[in-house]
Amino acid sequence: MVMPMAPAFQTLPVTSVLFACTYNMIRSPMAAAMMRHFHGSRVYVDSVGVREGDEVDPFAVAVMEEMGIDLSKHRCRTFEDLEDTNFDLIVSLSPEAQHRAIEMTRTMACDVEFWNTFDPTLVDGSRDAMLDAYRQVRDSLLVKLKQRFPLSRGPSI
């Protein structure tokens, strides 16, 4: 009887995720809020920026509100503001955040994934054009989250 070969390594479940972008005002708060919304207490989630941001972007608040997620209470933080740096995974959403995440792996054991995500503040135009850009970012993050962290049960997202 031939025994099936065991995989060379087992992928451990992710229990803590840090989302990082440049200012922690748009992309990383959106990703973290959706992750919390869909995975609740199963995964510890936090978000930071490389540089200090002022406050969450109002367009980000508006497009997240469209899907029933309140982002208005988010407070921007940087890597230096982290009280705990023990994460299974850091998901960087900008090149600058990717560099910082790689630096963190020198002193902590974690995986790093780079989801290069468009910065919607680069779009000029009408309010509707701006909202469309933010929706595209939200929706692309949602697709990536669904692929990377599928729900094991319950309604599909």
Q: Tell me the pLDDT band of 7, cut-offs 50, 70 and 90.
A: very low
Q: What is the pTM of this model?
A: 0.88
Contact 64, 36 (CB under 8 A): no
- According to DSSP, residue 47 is labeled E
| Nearest by Cα to 45 from 90, 77, 78 | 90
| Nearest by Cα to 54 from 26, 18, 92, 30 | 26
Q: Tell me the pLDDT band of 58, cut-offs 50, 70 and 90.
A: very high
Question: Which tens digits make up the pLDDT trace of 27-36?
Answer: 999 999 999 9
Q: What is the pLDDT of residue 39?
A: 92
With vertex at residue 50, the alpha carbon angle to CA 134 and CA 123, rounded to the nearest 5 degrees, is 25
Query: Could you tell me where the beta strands, DSSP code E, fall in 3-110?
Result: 16-21, 44-49, 89-92
Domain 16-148 carries which CATH code? Answer: 3.40.50.2300
Does the pLDDT at position 60 exceed 60? yes
